Amino acid sequence: DGPDAAAYASPEAFVYECAGGRDVRHVLVDGEIVVQDGEITTVDVREIRARAASRQKELAELIA
């Protein structure tokens, strides 16, 4: 709905060309809601963050 979206012929073109994750509220894939109200519904984001944080030192050493 922002002014930058007005230049595109269709909402699909705007999403494809320049929208980011914060511009999309809901996403369906094969009829399944995978993002609802901007939140991913198919994975536990808190669990992923906790697992990444617990392995942060190990991961940093791998890329150093």
Phi/psi at 38 (5° precision): 80, 0
pTM: 0.58
Task: Give the pLDDT of residue 1.
Answer: 56
Give me the residue spans of the domains in the chain. 3-63
In the numeric block, the tokens 């060309």 are attached to 17
Predicted confidence (pLDDT) per residue in 11-63, tens digit: 788 777 877 877 789 999 999 999 999 999 999 999 999 999 999 999 889 98
CATH class, range 3-63: mainly beta
